């Protein structure tokens, strides 16, 4: 039976041009209309994504198809990002290359922030899920059932990732103007959990795809989820439920 997911990242919301138009997004108890001003973009695919290997803090570059997708995404973003914004990126090549392609198209500079790095999977990195199942079967079962209790050998725990994400969010809510952060699956999941007020144990209920965006609204000292929008080339509806689950069993694949 498929795991139930939070509606935040469920389904396809259509092309980017329909995602960030001039209309405001209603959030908050009084339904005050405000525009999203914090956007998290998951990097375009690397060869490791396409091979379904755990990447973590290993540093494969974008694949050729990933570069092409980043260029298409930059064109889509250029048509809607018609305002000044801060472009921030993880230092890992797959995110940094995605950000650089966008930056060259929209005439922006990129600020590198190490807090946006992916969850460190340690010894799992470079392995497929089948290999992980052979080498660390008990830990893989725990990762699926209680992800907040796992510390990856030679890597991190979700609590360590959460500390990085919280630190980034504490700074970004004070930044003037909209912010676009190019980052990774794990970072976006934890940011979404923070915005939704959900615990780390709900980590696996949040899903992202490469090249997809999540929009947040900065409110006071925190953030609220506005919407999730994905490029039509990454629509979950094109995959089907079973194929989607099979392709996304590993967190950053």
Residue 176 lies in a domain: yes
Distance between CA 211 and CA 53 in Å, rounded?
A: 17
Q: Indicate the pairing of strand 86-89 with strand 110-112.
A: parallel
Residue 217 lies in a domain: yes
- Global model pTM greater than 0.75: yes
Residue 180 lies in a domain: yes
Residue 252 lies in a domain: no
Distance between CA 135 and CA 122 in Å, rounded?
A: 13
Clarify whether 234 is annotated catalytic.
no
Please tell me the predicted confidence (pLDDT) of residue 94: 98
Structural domain boundaries enclosing 154: 7-247
The token duo for 231 is 């490029």
Asked whether the beta carbons of 87 and 98 are under 8 A apart, the reply is: no
Asked whether the beta carbons of 16 and 235 are under 8 A apart, the reply is: no
Residue 1 lies in a domain: no
Vertex 209: Cα angle to 208 and 214 (nearest 5) = 50
Distance between CA 215 and CA 37 in Å, rounded?
A: 7
Measure the CA dihedral 74/70/8/133, to 10°.
Answer: -170
Backbone angles phi, psi at 54, to 5 degrees: -65, 130
CA dist list (Å): 31 to 21, 26, 28, 197, 219: 18, 5, 5, 18, 13
| CA quadruple 213, 214, 215, 221: dihedral sign | negative
Q: Which of 43, 229, 234, 248 is catalytic?
A: 43
Q: Which of 52, 127, 184, 248 is catalytic?
A: 184
Name the stretches of the chain with pLDDT < 70: 1-35, 81-83, 227-253
CA contacts within 13 A on the Cβ side of 218: 18
Residue 2 lies in a domain: no
- The residues, ordered by sequence, that sit 6+ positions from 107 with a Cβ below 8 Å of its Cβ are none
Distance between CA 208 and CA 42 in Å, rounded?
A: 8
Clarify whether 248 is annotated catalytic.
no
Strand partners, 109: none
Q: How many domains does the chain have?
A: 1
The token duo for 248 is 């996304």
Residue 17 lies in a domain: yes
Please tell me the predicted confidence (pLDDT) of residue 153: 97
What letter would DSSP give residue 47? H
Residue 253 lies in a domain: no
Domain holding 109: CATH number?
Answer: 3.40.50.1240
């Amino acid at each position: 039976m498929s795991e139930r997911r939070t509606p935040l990242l469920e389904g396809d919301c259509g092309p980017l041009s329909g995602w960030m138009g001039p209309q405001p997004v209603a959030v908050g108890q009084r339904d005050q209309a405000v525009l999203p001003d914090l956007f998290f973009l998951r990097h375009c695919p690397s060869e490791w994504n396409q091979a379904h290997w755990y990447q973590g803090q290993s540093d494969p570059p974008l694949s050729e198809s990933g570069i092409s997708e980043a260029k298409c995404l930059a064109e889509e973003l250029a048509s809607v990002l018609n305002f000044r914004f801060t472009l921030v990126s993880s230092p890992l090549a797959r995110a940094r290359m995605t950000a650089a392609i966008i930056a060259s198209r929209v005439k922006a500079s990129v600020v590198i922030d190490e807090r946006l790095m992916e969850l460190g999977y340690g010894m799992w990195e470079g392995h497929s899920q089948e290999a992980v199942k052979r080498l660390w079967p008990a830990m893989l079962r725990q990762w699926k059932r209680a992800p907040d209790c796992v510390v990856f050998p030679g890597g991190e725990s979700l609590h360590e990732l959460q500390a990085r994400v919280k630190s980034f969010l504490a700074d970004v809510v004070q930044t003037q103007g909209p912010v676009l952060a190019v980052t990774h699956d794990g970072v976006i999941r934890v940011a979404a959990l923070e915005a939704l007020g959900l615990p780390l144990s709900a980590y696996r209920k949040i899903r992202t795809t490469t090249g997809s965006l999540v929009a947040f609204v900065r409110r006071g000292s925190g953030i609220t989820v506005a919407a999730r929008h994905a490029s039509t080339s990454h629509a979950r509806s094109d995959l089907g439920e079973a194929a989607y689950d099979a392709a996304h069993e590993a967190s950053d694949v």
